[in-house]
Amino acid sequence: MEDEDKYNVCTACSILCDDIEIETENNSITGVYTACRKGVSRIQTCNEPMPCTLDGKDTDVDTAISETANILKKSENPLIFGLGNSTEGAQKKAIELAKQLNANLDDTSSFCQGPVVEAILNGEINYTCTLDDVRNNADVIVYWGADPANSHPRHLSKYTYFPRGKYRQKGYDEDRTAIAIDVRESSTAEICGNNSYLIPPQKDEELIDALIDALSGKVPKVSFEMNKKRILELANILKKAKYGVIFAGLGLVYSLDNFEPIKRLMDKLNEVSNFYFNPMIGHYNMRGFNQNLFNETGYINRVKFKDSEVKHGYEYSVVELLKNKSVDSALIIGSDPMCSLPGSIARNLNKIPIITIDPCETLTSRKSRINIPSALSGVECGGSAIRMDGVRVNFEPMIETSKISDEEILRRVMEEL
C-alpha cells in the first residue's frame, strides 16, 4: 500500500473524489481502495488500450502527429470535438489549435448539460453552492431527473445524503431528507423510499408550476395522475428546508425547452426557504471545457473561429455540422461520437478523415484514419479539472508511463502546422 497520507484523485466522473488509495507493484496498479465501481474500472486502465495507427497499420507517435498536422493543414473546415475527459491544459491547447486552424470547436455539453452550465456562468441561475457546502449544511436534497446511484456512485455517500457534515452530524434520515423526481423507479428513487415522485415524461414543467402554486398557498393542479396531497407534502418539505439543494439530471434538462421554469422555481423557493441548484455533470472535466471556452470567447460550446472573429450558434454544434456534412476533417479528443451520436449523423464521420486522441480503443477509433494513444488523465498524467460544482481540483499521476498526455500531443501538432 502507498503511504497512508497519500491520496489520489479519481477522474471517472465529475465529482473527482480526492480520497483514493492505491496499491502498486512494478509501476502497475494492483489494488484500488475507496473508489466506486466506475473509479476502479478507470483507474485500472483500459481493457483495450488504443494502439498508434495510420490507415489501419501500426505506426509511431511522431509519424502519427506529423500526418495529423498534414490533414489539418489541408482541411478547409475542420472540427475539433470532445475534451470532457481531458485536463484543463489540454482544453486550453485545443482552443489555441482551433484558433490557429479557423476550426469548429464543440463538446458533449452541446447535447447534454451545457445549457445548465451556460445559465450558471451567465448569471441566469445565481443559486449555486459547492459539494462541500452540501455535505456540511444540506438537510433536503432533491435529485430531479438524475440517478447518481448509478451515474455518480459516491455522490450520495460522500457529499449529500449519507455523510455526517459540520451541521448535519446525525446523517441521513434524522438530519437529511433525500427526494427523487423521475419518470421511472430508479436506484436512487429506491433509496429515497416514500420521497420518490414518479411523473410522466415531459411533465416536469407542469410539476414545477404546481409546486410554485403550492408554495404560494394555492391548490396545485396537474393533468397527470398525482394526488394533490402528495404535491402539497413535497412543497411542505421544500418550504421547511434550512439548506436545500436541487441536483438537475439529464431527465430534467431534456424535458424543458428553456430554463425559465427552473428560474421561477428557484426564485419562489428562495422566497420561502433557502435553496441551491447544481447540474449533475457526467464527464470529469466537461465543466472545465465550458469554463475555459467561456473565459476565452464568452461561449461554452458550438463555436467557429474565423481569423479574429468567433461565431456561435446551433449550426456549429457537432450534430448540425455532421448532419449538414459541412466539415472535412475531425479531430476527436477523449470522446466517442460514433457511440454517443445518432447513427444517421455519426455515419457521416466515415466520409471524412478522423483523427482520434484517446487512451482507450473506442468505436470511433476503429473508424479513424489516425489513432494517437494518450496518457490516461489522473492515472498516467497529472493536471487540473473543474468539478461539477465549479471547484478546481489538481491531481498528480498515480504511475509512470511512456505515453504522452493529450496536452503534449496537441502542442506537438501545433508545432508541425
- Tell whether 183 is covered by a domain: yes
According to DSSP, the β-strands at 196-198 and 21-25 are unpaired
User: Are both 271 and 299 inside the same structural domain?
Assistant: no
- Tell whether 10 is covered by a domain: no
Q: State the distance between the two ends of the chain, measured CA to CA, in whole angstroms.
A: 45
User: Are both 183 and 299 inside the same structural domain?
Assistant: no
Distance CA 157, CA 164 (A): 10
Q: Global pTM?
A: 0.95
Total domain count, the chain: 2
Predicted local confidence at residue 2, as pLDDT:
46
Domain limit, last residue, from 279, 314, 349 = 279
The mean pLDDT value of the chain amounts to 95
User: Are both 87 and 232 inside the same structural domain?
Assistant: no
User: Are both 105 and 151 inside the same structural domain?
Assistant: no
Predicted local confidence at residue 48, as pLDDT:
72
Tens digits of per-residue pLDDT, 25-39?
Answer: 999 999 999 999 999
Say if CB 48 and CB 296 are below 8 A apart. Answer: no
- Tell whether 24 is covered by a domain: no
**What is the domain-level CATH number for residue 251?**
3.40.228.10
Tens digits of per-residue pLDDT, 202-254?
Answer: 999 999 999 999 999 999 999 999 999 999 999 999 999 999 999 999 999 99
Say if CB 301 and CB 293 are below 8 A apart. Answer: yes
Angle of the 260-272 helix axis to the 204-215 helix axis, nearest 10: 20
User: Are both 133 and 232 inside the same structural domain?
Assistant: yes
- Tell whether 198 is covered by a domain: yes
Q: Which residues contact 344 (CB under 8 A, 6 or more apart)?
A: none
**Among 11, 8, 6, 13, which Cα is nearest to 87's?**
11
From residue 96, alpha-carbon distances to 90, 281, 376 in Å are 10, 25, 22
Predicted local confidence at residue 259, as pLDDT:
87
User: Are both 301 and 152 inside the same structural domain?
Assistant: no
3-state secondary structure the chain: CCCCCCCECCCCCCCCCCCEEEEEECCEEEEEECCCHHHHHHHCCCCCECCCEECCEECCHHHHHHHHHHHHHHCCCEEEEECCCCCHHHHHHHHHHHHHHCCEEECHHHHCCHHHHHHHHCCCCCCCCCHHHHHHHCCEEEEECCCHHHHCCCHHHHCCCCCCECCECCCECCCEEEEEEECCCCHHHHHHHHHEEECCCCCHHHHHHHHHHHHCCCCCCCCCCCCHHHHHHHHHHHHHCCCEEEEECHHHHHHCCCCHHHHHHHHHHHHHCCEEEEECCCCCCHHHHHHHHHHHHCCCCCEEEECCEEEECHHHCHHHHHHCCCCCEEEEECCCHHHHCCHHHHHHHHHCCEEEEECECCHHHHCCCEEEECCCECCCECEEEECCCCCEEEECCCCCCCCCCHHHHHHHHHHHC
User: Are both 127 and 184 inside the same structural domain?
Assistant: yes
Distance CA 151, CA 249 (A): 10
Domain limit, last residue, from 246, 279, 312 = 279
Predicted local confidence at residue 1, as pLDDT:
43
User: Are both 147 and 56 inside the same structural domain?
Assistant: no
User: Are both 83 and 165 inside the same structural domain?
Assistant: no
User: Are both 154 and 300 inside the same structural domain?
Assistant: no
Predicted local confidence at residue 171, as pLDDT:
74
- Those residues of the chain that have pLDDT short of 70 are 1-5, 46-47
According to DSSP, the β-strands at 28-33 and 21-25 are antiparallel
- Tell whether 33 is covered by a domain: no
- Tell whether 148 is covered by a domain: yes
Distance of CA 137 to the CA centre of its chain: 24
Predicted local confidence at residue 236, as pLDDT:
98
- Tell whether 180 is covered by a domain: yes
State the residue range of the domain holding 77: 48-112+284-375+404-416
Domain limit, last residue, from 279, 301, 332 = 279
Predicted local confidence at residue 45, as pLDDT:
74
**What is the domain-level CATH number for residue 355?**
3.40.50.740
- Tell whether 383 is covered by a domain: no
Distance CA 305, CA 106 (A): 11
Name the one residue in this structure whose C-alpha cell is 394533490: 228
Side-chain half-sphere CA neighbours of 373 within 13 A: 18
User: Are both 141 and 275 inside the same structural domain?
Assistant: yes
User: Are both 244 and 102 inside the same structural domain?
Assistant: no
